[in-house]
Structure 1
Amino acid sequence: MENKKWNNRKIKDGALQGLIYLSTVLTVAILAVIIGFILYKGIPGINLNFVTRMWDDKTTFVNIETKEAPGNNSNGAYVGSLGITLAQDGEKIIISHIDSDSPVKTATNMKKEAYPLKEKDVILKAGSAAIDKMTPQEAAAAIKDGTGTIRIKVLRPGGGIVPMLVSTIYIILLSLVIAAPIGISSAIYLNEYAKRGRILSLIRFAIQNLAGIPSIIYGLFGMLVFVQLLKMQYSILAGALTLSIMLLPTIISTTEEALKEIPKAYRESSFGLGATKLQTIAKIILPGALPGILVAIILSIGRIVGESAALIWTAGTVAQIPGGLVGGKAAAATLTTKMYWLIKESGDLATASSIAVVLLVLIIALNVASKMITRVFLKKKGTN
């Protein structure tokens, strides 16, 4: 009888262990397939231009003070008065090389602002000559050598993620500046000052429920309150305020758990030495809970980076570097919102996957930073 029970228990344990292994393999396989698909589609589109250029093409008229051209040059695509070499790129004429003393480096636009030309810029027109479909030699001949001022129409190719990357960084910084002090202060109050009772339980219950609300609802709230009622329009400030509200439950809960880990004896010892409650919190409790607080902040950064629904309704989807905190020029698309619109509007899966690769790298970097920071502070705590 005992042997039968033992055999049944062994069978159950083996089945349970097999189920655990199967679940682990299935989870890893799904994760590998997702990441592998994103890398397969996205890596071919990642290059230097992708991470350094603006998103949209930009056409600009520039004025250039030409220099004295050399007498002879064997390179028929070289423009001596501008110190540039032209090349063919499909049907376009691009600048393939710029001399160190080239006057195009001091070019100005129509507002008399500095607009230095760069390699890979496309030359569409020089003076009255349209050269966009010429050969490099014909284009060089059309740009007359000599001295004086020449006006050139230049196309600077886009296709880069710089505006979305900058907007993402702005949103991260603004959201944390708003949410972190409020969330940490609230956690300190709930754990150190608030009296135990129904009101405190109700507050914690509300915080837990706030963490489970879909982000699209936060987005609608942000659009109604910040964008329309407070007239911030689509802007990074409206987006940051909306995300700050979303982050509060995470920061409060994680920080409060970190504060609870500090032994009660530390508080009592501090009070016994004559320290006030505020001094105890500032000198004893917060330093001890700092690793947990940093984890809360880094987790919040991860949520900001991955958020799209709330930002579409508050920050907008314009691929530009924000020109302020509020107003039309402050509307901006983050990496995730741009990826969403690429799939929705144009079905550009390749570019969206390239942006996803950048997001994966960013999230992995944040996780590594979280572990490193936590390890450093725990080591310092152990030595002290």
Structure 2
Amino acid sequence: MNVKAKDKFWTAVLYGVSALVILLLISLIGYILFKGRNFLSPKFLFGEPKIMESGGGIAPQLFNSFYMLIISLLISVPLGVGAGIYLAEYAKEGRILNFIRLCIETLASLPSIVVGLFGLIVFVNMTNWGFTLLSGALAIAVLNLPALARVSENAIRTVKSDIKQASLGLGATKFQTIWKVMLPAAFPQILTGVILAAGRIFGEAAALLYTAGMSAPSLNFSASNLLGSSSQFNVFRPAETLSVYIWQLNSEGIIPDAADIANKSSAVLIVMVLLFNVLARILGKKIHELYTGKK
């Protein structure tokens, strides 16, 4: 077999592997959506779960998932971006930086169940908070910090040094250069990392089993309940998310139509994760075009 024939053969193999991966993904998504068809029913999306009865909804779990997403991002994004800025601009090569990178890589490789057990010990037991939304948000923040730090560091490093030197040459301080010049230029990549992290938050279950609990109070948006201890906006209450609810339905089967609700919930979950990924691509591209002037 000559060189040209070998090249065609291995090109075909690579195309075949790529097609297999795409087919596998489409089959998986199609199967979940088929099993959970009719998941867009308003009664299902905005209804309350029913104990020992059929026909319940997922409104509290869906609300908890989005609320958990917001609280966790408020914690992890400033820390992750700050860590990325430090690693890219302030840290000096040496043993300390190598040790920090080792810690980040180790933290990134931890299974989510291990982070959940850590959260149980620290955020649930040591703080005496119990199973709360804040405990779950902190555990998820620990999971996302390594990825956000690496994305932020790489995004800042990709900013052209000419831009940085021009800003410093005009009299701007290093902090002003980072804040006013480098961060806006790196923002599209950082935003993509944040949205992808949001997709992971929405679909995480293992870490939340031990931190956020498996109960979801009924939604009550009345003015008298917004600031009370039983308010859905209280971060010190249990907050069962949609992914945890799916696990509970499949493991305990507490209602007659548990399998049907679990299938519909899975369809909602996968649609949301897909939306996060598509949104990351679209927003990242649009913002990059905005900053670079490309169309």
Q: TM-score, normalised by structure 2?
A: 0.89
State the Cα deviation string for residues 37-61 of structure 1 (Å, max 9, x = none). 1112101454221011111369xxx
Q: 2:292 — aligned with what? A: 382
Q: 1:226 — aligned with what? A: 123
State the Cα deviation string for residues 276-320 of structure 1 (Å, max 9, x = none). 111111111111111111112101101101100000010011133
State the Cα deviation string for residues 329-368 of structure 1 (Å, max 9, x = none). x112111011111111129332212111111221222122
Larger Rg: 1
Q: 2:192 — aligned with what? A: 295
Give unpaired runs (5+ residues) of structure 2: 220-231
Rounded to whole Å, the distance in 2 between the matches of 1:14 and 1:369 is 36
Q: Could you tell me whether the CA contact under 8 Å between 2:39 and 2:267 is conserved in 1? A: no
Rounded to whole Å, the distance in 2 between the matches of 1:53 and 1:37 is 25
Structure 1 residue corresponding to 2:143, chosen from 242, 246, 253: 246
Secondary structure, counterpart of 1:43 in structure 2: coil
Q: 2:3 — aligned with what? A: 9
Q: Please list, as runs of the form range in 1=range in 2, the aligned pairs for 1:310-349 lying within 5 A after superposition.
A: 310-320=207-217, 321=219, 322=232, 324-326=234-236, 330-346=237-253, 348-349=258-259
Query: How many pairs were matched up?
Result: 278
Q: 2:14 — aligned with what? A: 20
Q: Could you tell me whether the CA contact under 8 Å between 1:54 and 1:162 is conserved in 2? A: yes
Q: 2:92 — aligned with what? A: 195
Q: Could you tell me whether the CA contact under 8 Å between 1:38 and 1:353 is conserved in 2? A: yes
1:230 deviates by 0.5
Rounded to whole Å, the distance in 1 between the matches of 2:286 and 2:29 is 30
Structure 1 residue corresponding to 2:204, chosen from 274, 283, 307: 307
Q: 2:50 — aligned with what? A: 56
Q: Could you tell me whether the CA contact under 8 Å between 1:57 and 1:158 is conserved in 2? A: no
Rounded to whole Å, the distance in 1 between the matches of 2:172 and 2:209 is 49
1:163 deviates by 0.4
AA partner of residue 325 (structure 1): V
Larger fraction in strand: 1
Q: 1:368 — aligned with what? A: 278
Q: Please list, as runs of the form range in 1=range in 2, the aligned pairs for 1:1-384 lying within 5 A after superposition.
A: 7-44=1-38, 46-56=40-50, 159-320=56-217, 321=219, 322=232, 324-326=234-236, 330-346=237-253, 348-383=258-293
Rounded to whole Å, the distance in 1 between the matches of 2:15 and 2:186 is 36
Rounded to whole Å, the distance in 2 between the matches of 1:8 and 1:369 is 45
Greater displacement, 272-281 / 213-222: 272-281
Q: 1:61 — aligned with what? A: none
Rounded to whole Å, the distance in 1 between the matches of 2:292 and 2:36 is 43
Rounded to whole Å, the distance in 1 between the matches of 2:233 and 2:287 is 38
Greater displacement, 226-235 / 188-197: 188-197
Closer, same or farther: CA 231–220 of 1 in aligned 2, 3 Å:
same
Closer, same or farther: CA 25–371 of 1 in aligned 2, 3 Å:
closer
Q: Could you tell me whether the CA contact under 8 Å between 1:315 and 1:331 is conserved in 2? A: yes
Q: 1:149 — aligned with what? A: none
1:197 deviates by 1.5
AA partner of residue 276 (structure 2): L
AA partner of residue 2 (structure 2): N
Rounded to whole Å, the distance in 2 between the matches of 1:21 and 1:266 is 40
Q: TM-score, normalised by structure 1?
A: 0.69
Of structures 1 and 2, the one with the larger relative CO (CA 8 A, separation 6+) is 2
AA partner of residue 305 (structure 1): F
1:196 deviates by 1.6
Secondary structure, counterpart of 2:37 in structure 1: helix
Closer, same or farther: CA 358–319 of 1 in aligned 2, 3 Å:
same
Rounded to whole Å, the distance in 2 between the matches of 1:285 and 1:25 is 39
Closer, same or farther: CA 262–323 of 1 in aligned 2, 3 Å:
closer
Larger fraction in helix: 2
Rounded to whole Å, the distance in 1 between the matches of 2:195 and 2:105 is 19
Q: Could you tell me whether the CA contact under 8 Å between 1:184 and 1:255 is conserved in 2? A: yes
Q: Could you tell me whether the CA contact under 8 Å between 1:54 and 1:158 is conserved in 2? A: no
State the Cα deviation string for residues 184-230 of structure 1 (Å, max 9, x = none). 11111111111121211221121112111100000000001111110
Secondary structure, counterpart of 1:231 in structure 2: coil
Q: Could you tell me whether the CA contact under 8 Å between 2:192 and 2:280 is conserved in 1? A: yes
